[in-house]
């Protein structure tokens, strides 16, 4: 399994369900666009890998183009 841990889980769930509501966001200032000085968010995946016997968690710290968070 894989999980994108670069974004809050609640926001990802709402986006996935299609119930993204801007009124639910807790923010003093809501911006529709990203400010030019703000860093672009990067993807970071938490992976659970197994060989059928042992299982471990791994973290993607550099983007791996072959992996998609839509898996």
**Contacts with 19 (C-beta within 8 Å, 6 or more apart), sequence order:** none
First-to-last C-alpha distance (Å) of the chain: 9
The pLDDT tens digits for 12-59 are 778 778 876 665 555 555 555 666 666 666 788 888 999 999 999 998
* Confidence at residue 14, expressed as pLDDT on a 0 to 100 scale: 81
Name the maximum alpha-carbon separation found in the chain. 49
Give the E-state strand segments of the chain in sequence order: 2-4, 45-50, 55-59
| Residue 9 or residue 24, greater confidence | 9
| Structure token digits, residue 32 | 């529709």
- The ranges assigned to domains in the chain are 1-19+43-65
pTM: predicted TM-score of the whole model, two decimal places: 0.52
* Confidence at residue 56, expressed as pLDDT on a 0 to 100 scale: 95
């Amino acid at each position: 399994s894989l999980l994108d841990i670069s974004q809050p889980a609640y926001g990802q769930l709402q986006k996935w369900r299609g119930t993204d509501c801007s009124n639910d966001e807790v923010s003093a200032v809501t911006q529709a666009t990203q400010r030019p000085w703000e860093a672009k968010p990067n993807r970071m995946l938490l992976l659970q890998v197994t060989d059928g016997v042992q299982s471990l968690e791994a973290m993607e710290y550099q983007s791996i183009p072959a992996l998609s968070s839509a898996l």
